[in-house]
Amino acid sequence: MTQVKSNFPIITIGGCVIVAIRDDLDDQDIVALQDQLVEEVARKGAHGVIIDISSLEIVDTFAGRMLGAMAQMARMMNARTIVVGMRPAVAMTLVELGMTLDGVETALTADRAIKTIMSGRA
């Protein structure tokens, strides 16, 4: 039986919830992370979500769908989602799988993502 990691390093800076997805997460961990992330967005009243995937070597269809779902949930809670650190191989894999990740913006770094989110605030 797999032990699901219950706590993920999620921090909040300037109204942005930031989480790094590690390469060693299995499907159950990703679902648990999604739940924790949505709870944190609600608890902090965040207006931005930054998901760092720089440690991911590959993304399968489940992880890709979960990224899209996290962005959609955040959007429903009035938070903008930006994925940072996407490797070229990950981008190519997502395209080859036909995954568009609707509603997911990208940035090269977390710093750029924070600036983008902050510039869009009213």
Amino acid at 12: T
Mean pLDDT over the full length of the chain: 86
Is-contact 74 103, C-beta < 8 A? no
Overall pTM surpassing 0.75 (yes/no): yes
- What does the pLDDT look like over 19-30, one tens digit per residue? 988 777 788 888
Is-contact 19 33, C-beta < 8 A? yes
pLDDT for 60: 83
Domains with residue ranges and CATH for the chain: 10-119 (3.30.750.24)
Region 89-98 average pLDDT: 89
